[in-house]
Amino acid sequence: MLPNLKFLKANFLAISVVFLVQPLSTGFVHGQAKPTQKYTEPLKGPSLDGPIVAGRGADTAEAETKTATPGEIAFGAYQRGYYLTALNLALPLADSGDPAAQTLIGELYWNGFGVARDRKKAAQWYEFAANAGNREAQFIYGNMLLRGLTVKEDKIAGESFLRKAAESGHTRAQFNLAQIMTARRPTWSGFKSALPWYEKAAEAGLADAQYALSKIYAEAQGVAFNDDEKARVWLEKSANNGFDTAQVELGIWNANGRGGEKSEKRALFWFSRAASKGNVIAQNRLARMYSFGIGTKADDVRAGAWHVVARRAGFSDSVMDRRFATLSKINKQRAIDLANRLTKRAGS
């Protein structure tokens, strides 16, 4: 991060990368010169003297405003939803070559925050910032090139930008780069080459990378031998970080005692966590545990409810179909009523 604009922090990723899942039209080609248009006329919008600091007194907020850089004030405006003010403050910085300000402007134009949505213009600003070394912009623009989002597809250039972002410590870029490497070479040596990037992203707390590292140690991909204990450590980290696939697998490992202590109660706990998020495999496993009394007291109504939830989501289980069919009429209705409540709760 460049010293003249410290406001673009790591949590900006959660805002910026949302666009990557949206279908987009082709447009601006990378490599084009910086636009000559100057934004000399300030845009009208709500005024903001500085970042509003929750829980601070007026005197403290005023003092912090006086010491904040223009970039920090611009990002403070962005955080509070004063998008035109953020744009007004960022444009002079971006016009002078500040890559973080350019990234912020790209974000505003990409999402249409305070301005008409213009994704070609956003791509242009992301490119300037990426070429100037901003790792967030390198990650965003690299993914745009890899997928042909708004810009012409260029996988070589896209991977190059992604690698630059990864080398600068961008966690998601590290994971994405590892995924590209293993997809290109899904062999033991391919995983070995990608392993350092998986490790960096996992150690930084990325749940996807932690799960991938768990699979690597469990299946001896890119490592000398499988290590279930180490695999379970990373699986637990991923599960604790909310990755539902890891939660399901950790439930299975707990139920079987793989890589550590066997605990059917812990299996029930992890299946419950994942099931509440809508994971259909967890919902089915939970139905079976309640039906057969594994890790908990048998509960036909609760078992039937989770079976109904999973079946509605398209999961087929003939064993649970037969067990549900044996329930009394009243218990079937109770199970359906509970399934409706569980579904409503998961969707709320």
Q: Could you tell me the pLDDT band of residue 59, with boundaries at 50, 70 and 90? A: very low
Longest dimension (CA), the chain: 76
Instruction: For residue 204, tell me if it sits in a domain.
Output: no
Work out the number of other CB atoms within 10 angstroms of the CB of residue 248.
Answer: 24
Q: What average pLDDT does the structure give for the chain?
A: 84
Per-residue model confidence (pLDDT) at position 27? 33
> Which residues, at least 6 apart from 304, have a Cβ–Cβ distance to it below 8 Å?
287, 291, 323, 324, 327, 331, 332, 334, 335, 336, 338, 339
Q: With the CA atoms of 324, 327, 331 and 336 taken in that order, what torsion angle do they form, in degrees rounded to the nearest 10?
A: 20
How does residue 70 score in pLDDT terms, banded at 50, 70 and 90? confident
Structural domain includes residue 247: yes
Q: Check whether 9 has a pLDDT greater than 60.
A: no
The answer to whether residue 80 is domain-embedded is yes
Residue 330 identity: I
Is pLDDT at 119 greater than 90 in this prediction? yes
If we measure between CA atoms, which residue out of 273, 290, 292, 271 comes closest to residue 282? 271
- The last residue of a domain, from among 89, 111, 130: 130
* Rounded distance between C-alpha atoms, residue 209 and residue 49, angstroms: 41
Q: What is the mean pLDDT of residues 61-89?
A: 81
pLDDT at 327: 97
3-state secondary structure of 163: helix
From 74, 100, 130, the end of a domain falls on 130
CATH number at residue 343: 1.25.40.10
Domain assignment present for 71:
yes
Q: What is the pLDDT of residue 66?
A: 56
Q: How do residues 98-116 score in pLDDT, each as one tens digit? A: 999 999 999 999 999 999 9
Enclosing domain of residue 310:
242-347
Q: How far apart are CA 330 and CA 325, in angstroms?
A: 12
- pLDDT surpassing 50 at residue 303: yes
Q: Which long-range contacts (CB under 8 A, 24 or more apart) does 170-173 make?
A: 170/13, 170/135, 170/136, 170/138, 170/139, 171/10, 171/13, 171/200, 171/201, 171/204, 171/205, 171/206, 171/209, 172/13, 172/17, 172/139, 172/201, 172/206, 173/135, 173/138, 173/139, 173/142
- In a domain, residue 73? The reply is yes
Lowest mean pLDDT among 46-50, 60-64, 330-334: 46-50
Distance CA 133, CA 343 (A): 46
* Torsion sign over Cα 146, 151, 153, 158: negative
Q: What DSSP designation does 44 have?
A: P
Confidence of residue 195 (pLDDT cuts 50, 70, 90): very high
**Residue 29 belongs to a domain:** yes
Please determine, for residue 93, whether its predicted confidence score (pLDDT) is greater than 70: yes
Total tally of structural domains belonging to the chain: 2
Asked if pLDDT for residue 7 goes beyond 50, the answer is no
Give residue 8's pLDDT band: very low, low, confident or very high (50, 70, 90).
very low
Q: What is the DSSP string of 170-212?
A: -HHHHHHHHHHHHHH--SHHHHHHHHHHHHHHHHTT-HHHHHH
CB 194 within 8 A of CB 178: yes
**Nearest CA-CA partner of 77 in 55, 108, 102, 98:** 108
In a domain, 172, yes or no: no
Tell whether 185 is covered by a domain. no
pLDDT at 347: 65
d(CA 127, CA 129): 5
Residue bearing tokens 């793989």: 258
Residue 205, token pair as written in the block: 């707390």
Last residue of a domain, one of 76, 103, 130: 130
Percent of the chain with pLDDT over 90: 77
Residue-level pLDDT at 51:
28
Indicate the pLDDT class of residue 69, thresholds 50, 70 and 90.
Answer: confident
